[in-house]
Structure 1
């Protein structure tokens, strides 16, 4: 169980990442997700193990599926980027496999939005953008997948 100090520290991390996403990376449609799921759509998922962020980046983040050249040339306008979950962590934290499993198991799935994944938009495959915050408030982002993802073929 997390203590009040741990929760306060996690909310502080989330605040740093939120500011970075809004002012440095221009994310939009941002929602703050607390340990109790605050997403409007009804969900049967349990509470999140940590405070997180849910929002839309200005451009699509890495997609392991190769882009087809016919789609890019036929439409000059890019479709809006998929919304992403962001998990703020501190550089010195050591997250266990149990914690990662809990994060992925309890991610809410908003109705009407597909989770990106393998062939055919497999809803069982999820990913989280991990925002690693260092002591000087520098934020580095990584994409963490639930399970194995085939590398992109160029």
Structure 2
């Protein structure tokens, strides 16, 4: 069967449009649809542009089961995003010992870190964020996102160097560009160069 010449070709929805449409079907009444769509836009960007896995949308606090101030995401990046300065020193010492044990002085240091699950806070560039608003978000979060296979929250991170809450602030511009920043709850020891 041929298509008549005056009939427009069928337009299929893009993967992002499909994700937003599916997200609106399971939307939470506690959050505005625009915040849900923003979270799904950031989720799509992380999954398809940055190779994150295990991405999940959260609308309630894992600590209190109360609605979050806004929808948040959690996920696993392809590599570790943040290494604590003291952990960095220990990793370098361990890698140096292993290199010496192999008896290869010219060999490069092989520093091994495992990726960690992270919280992601989707925002728009036009929003005004204050320390009070960020504190409200951090108050509702556990140290690490809950495991996908467990409803119970184990607030102890697998990494003993992770001592403060942190999240990835995902800021979406009007042109759909997303920029990511790591934000810690409180004061964090600066890195050494």
TM-score in same-fold range (> 0.5): yes
Q: Does 1:16 align with 2:41?
A: yes
**Of 135, 143, 147, the match for 2:182:** 143
Pick closer, same or farther for the CA change 1:136–1:150 going to 2, 3 Å. Answer: same
Large movers: runs of 4+ above 2 Å: 43-47, 70-80
Q: Secondary structure at the match of 2:46?
A: helix
**Per-residue deviation at 1:141?**
0.2
Structure 2 CA distance, aligned partners of 1:127 and 1:90? 19
**Count of residue correspondences:** 141
Matches within 5 A, 1:102-117: 102-109=136-143, 110=146, 111=154, 113-114=156-157
Aligned CA RMSD, in angstroms, stands at 2.6
Unmatched tracts of structure 2, length 5 or more: 1-28, 100-109, 147-153
| Larger relative helix fraction | 2
Query: Offset at 1:112?
Result: 6.4
Matches within 5 A, 1:4-153: 7-34=32-59, 36-37=60-61, 43-44=63-64, 46-66=66-86, 67=88, 68-72=91-95, 74=98, 78-109=112-143, 110=146, 111=154, 113-114=156-157, 121-122=162-163, 125-153=164-192
Structure 1: gaps (5+ residues)? none
Would the alpha carbon gap of residues 88 and 116 (structure 1) be closer, same or farther in structure 2, given more than 3 Å must change? farther
Rg bigger for which structure? 2
Checking the alignment, whether the CA contact within 8 Å between 2:92 and 2:111 is kept in structure 1 is: no
After TM superposition, the structure 1 stretch with the greater mean CA deviation from structure 2, 8-17 or 43-52, is 43-52
